[in-house]
Structure 1
């Protein structure tokens, strides 16, 4: 049984915050990471949006195979958008 959508959103939000702790901690120990508030907001929006897109879309499909395909599609779109924002892939 699927969790209610607000609970799923809370889980996705918690995972997003945990993932954002990685660059936040890396900034404390290395000068290679120099993220500002806008970078964290953009990354958080992308991660949360991708997670919610997966949750909502995966509820519509019935088989595990289709859920894997949905996950791969969401991950592909996330990676392309992230790369475009990071280095301007399509410039």
Structure 2
């Protein structure tokens, strides 16, 4: 059995670190008040984005095209995150 030396994509580390920020902030202020569902949604979005970036970077050639796809993915995730947070478009998933 051969084990390949695979490197872990730093995007997963960044996603985990970003998820820790509100968890730590909740310990020091009452202005950050996330529920378990908020952490679940944020985790799915962050780690899903990291997975998407990882898959695009591994499977899309040439690299210039991969950077365009990653940019579009990040833009779409940002729009979804904003909609969930403040309701930019007033959809049924909009936050308050």
Same fold (TM over 0.5): yes
Instruction: Give the 5 Å matches for 1:4-83.
Output: 7-8=8-9, 12-83=11-82
Q: Which runs of 5+ in 1 are unaligned?
A: none
Secondary structure (helix, strand or coil) at the match of 1:59 reads: helix
**Bigger helix share:** 1
Shift in CA distance, 13/64, structure 1 to aligned 2, threshold 3 Å = closer
1:5-46 alpha-carbon deviations (Å, 9 max, x no partner): xx55xx654432221111111111122211010000000000
- Runs of 4 or more above 6 Å deviation: none
Q: CA RMSD in A?
A: 1.9
- Residue 84 of structure 2 is matched in structure 1 by 85
Q: Relative contact order (C-alpha < 8 Å, sep 6+): which is higher?
A: 1
TM-score w.r.t. length of structure 2: 0.74
> Could you tell me how far apart the structure 2 residues matched to 1:57 and 1:68 are?
8
CA contact (8 A) 2:15 2:46 kept: yes
Looking at CA atoms only, which structure, 1 or 2, has the larger radius of gyration?
2
Q: How many residues align?
A: 85
- Where structure 2 has 5 or more consecutive residues not aligned to the other structure, the ranges are 1-5, 91-96
